[in-house]
Structures are given as structure tokens and as C-alpha cells.
Amino acid sequence: MALPTGKIIARPMVVRACGHSQEFQHYAVDKYRAQRLAKFQQTRCSDCAAKLNEEQQKISEAMPKKGELLRLLPIGTQVSLIRTNDGAWGGKLIADGTSVDMISNDGSGPQALIVALAKLWVTKTGVGLKDVEEK
């Protein structure tokens, strides 16, 4: 679905997913206008998208590396894995009284699921996260 070319007949202000209003262009001939408008409303404005990317980058930098994640788990950590009917792996991790669970729908194996569970546990507890504000 490419951007249409031709004469712009209207420029209404439309609220984006981030809550900001932004101009949306109506072209004289645009058979995909409804789809473009729906996508426009479901996405963030460029400023909010950049801000979100920056925040996610800071969080990513604060997250320990894969090997460190597993070493951060305390003694007595329990991990249980299950294979679902559709072939996906699910799991639950319990450590220091905090429980996290997830199902891996991306086709990765049980090893990747254990790392993902550890990352989720670190995010939930804050154990081992580097100070995000110091950078």
C-alpha cells in the first residue's frame, strides 16, 4: 500500500495512538484511505515514537547480558517447562518469592525460554539492573 499521489483535498486533524493530534492528508483518488487512516490512528507521532525508542534503548542497556542473567538468579530458583499442543514452550520461574511465567510463541526452544524468564524476573524485581539514569 503505497502513498497515493495527486491532489490533496483535505487535511483533517486526527488523534494518534499517543494522544497527539496530527494532520492526515485526504487525496482526491485514494482507494486505501480507510486503511491508511486506521494505521495512522494506531501509530504514534514521530516525536513520541523517538521518545519511546530512546526509553527502550536505556532499558536495554541497563539489562544484564545473557550469562549474567542466569548468574543473578538466587540459589533455590525453580524453573518448570511445558510443551503445549501447538509445539510452543511455556514456563514458570520462581525465585525469592517472585514468580514469572510466559509462553514462547516465536518458535524458540526451551533454552531461550529460560533466558527470557530470567530477564522477566530481573525486570520485575530490579535485581541486577544497572542504574538507567547514570548514562
The tens-digit pLDDT sequence of the chain (135 residues) is 677 888 999 999 999 999 999 999 999 999 999 999 999 999 999 999 999 999 989 888 888 888 888 999 999 999 999 998 888 999 999 999 999 999 988 888 899 999 999 999 998 998 887 754 443
Answering whether pTM is above 0.75, one says no
Instruction: Please state, in angstroms and rounded to a whole number, the distance separating the CA atoms of residues 109 and 116.
Output: 11
**Rounded (5°) CA angle 120-125-129:** 80
Spatial CB neighbours of 7, under 8 Å, sequence gap ≥ 6: 27, 28
Q: Under CATH, which number does the domain 64-126 receive? A: 3.30.160.20
**For the chain, first and last CA: distance in Å?**
40
Count CA within 13 A, CB hemisphere, residue 31. 2
Place of cell 517472585: 98
> Could you state, in order of their start, the residue ranges of all structural domains in the chain?
8-58, 64-126
